[in-house]
Copies of this chain bind each other. A is one copy, B any other.
Amino acid sequence: MVFKISPLSPRNIQELPPLSGVRIATAEAGIKYKGRTDLLFILFDEPASVAGVFTRSQCPSAPVDHCRASLPHGVARGVVVNSGNANAFTGRKGKQTTDSIARAAASALKVKENEIFIASTGVIGEPMDAACVVNLLPNMAATAEEGNWLEAAKAIMTTDTFPKLSTRRFDCGGETVTINGIAKGAGMIAPDMATTLSFVVSDADISSDILQSMLSEAVQGSFNSITVDSDTSTSDTLMMFATGKVKGNFLPLMSKSDPRYEVFAKQLSGLLRELALQVVCDGEGARHLIEVNVTGATTDSAAKTVALSIANSPLVKTAIAGEDANWGRVVMAVGKAGVEVDRDLLTIWFGEHRLAINGERDPEYREETIGTYMQGKHITIRVDIGLGVGKATVWSCDLTQEYVMINGDYRS
């Protein structure tokens, strides 16, 4: 474990406003970590709308199974999240654990079990004892308070070096609404769906199906456009809730043709992107944030394939770690992506520096001039394919010795 804070962390941690009727409690369940909170209970005093996006892993965790099964009911009253154990690949015992947790939380709140959502993050394959969670829930339910978002973000951290929070407050059809979001990340971060736990709550009144539509759209340009190490977790969970408790006269948003849809969706996209970038900036061992912009591909999808090929390439990522403008490795990553490109039409920039054009090194390029740029924390790699109008942006981080240390050597 590395305790120091990522050099890419935001200067200031955002303060999230309390949301009426959304109460939060955290506790030390001692599942794996000692001397810190590892359990989060979010309670909705009245039924909230709910939407979710989950891992596409063929080996999803028991909590993911539970959430998928509960989602069609469309009502949320509570969310229980733990760190330290993923309750993944734990067979029948895993389901018994989520059943026990759902039962205990539902009982504490006097609601239905399928109105409780569960997420777990941590080691895969360790059986998880429900008791240490279940025993704490009644007291947490009794003592939960509005606010406490920072504590919520901290309780779900694993190898994260800073808590991840984002908030938006904006006018939506004449009323001021709020969206609060928290996330955790660190390793096993790759799209489809970004390997994080993330929980977003708004006080707006939005139906569950519309909430799902907004969430599924907004995830594309945020959590589905980041990668730390190309590994996809068994536990990826992004859930969103809407309480409808906003003050004033906010009529229920129940249609995509409602003009407030676009307003809200845009703010949600911004918030999710901010959370997703915080996840990349806290990628295990990350020292540089890498933004990859691909333009001129035959389709947007082809552009994204190329962008991910660059963003996931160990050789590109180690070069950035070494502050080396090794654009030849970008050519390699474009070439291996498997989509239509024409080598002799490629143009490549690092920041504003054009390094290659017309299938060869830019004759104007001087390696001396790029040194300072490569020492920056935020490196932008731009590739124009020269064939069409398809474009995509993805974010990644560099691959450092610390990544290897965190993920392998810490036991030895």
Partner of A343, one of B89, B322, B360: B89
A323-B411 contact, Cβ under 8 Å, with A125-B328, A232-B335: yes
Nearest B-chain residue to A306, judged by Cβ: B58
Contact with B along A377-412 (1 / 0, CB 8 A): 000000000000000000000111101110111111
- Smallest Cβ distance from A408 to chain B, in angstroms? 3
- The reply on A242 being an interface residue by CB < 8 A is no
Contact B359 A321 (CB under 8 A): no
- The reply on A349 being an interface residue by CB < 8 A is no
Contact A125 B232 (CB under 8 A): no
A335-B405 contact, Cβ under 8 Å, with A231-B314, A343-B89: no
Nearest B-chain residue to A317, judged by Cβ: B408
Contact B231 A408 (CB under 8 A): no
- The reply on A278 being an interface residue by CB < 8 A is no
Q: Which residues of B contact A331 (CB under 8 A)?
A: 59, 88-89, 124-125, 234
- Smallest Cβ distance from A379 to chain B, in angstroms? 13
> Which chain A residues have a beta carbon within 8 Å of chain B's beta carbons?
55-60, 86, 88-94, 123-127, 187-188, 190, 229-234, 312-315, 318-324, 327-329, 331-344, 346, 356, 358-361, 398-401, 403-405, 407-412
Please name the 4 residue pairs, one residue from A and one from B, whose CB atoms are nearest each other, closest first: A124-B328, A91-B360, A322-B408, A59-B335
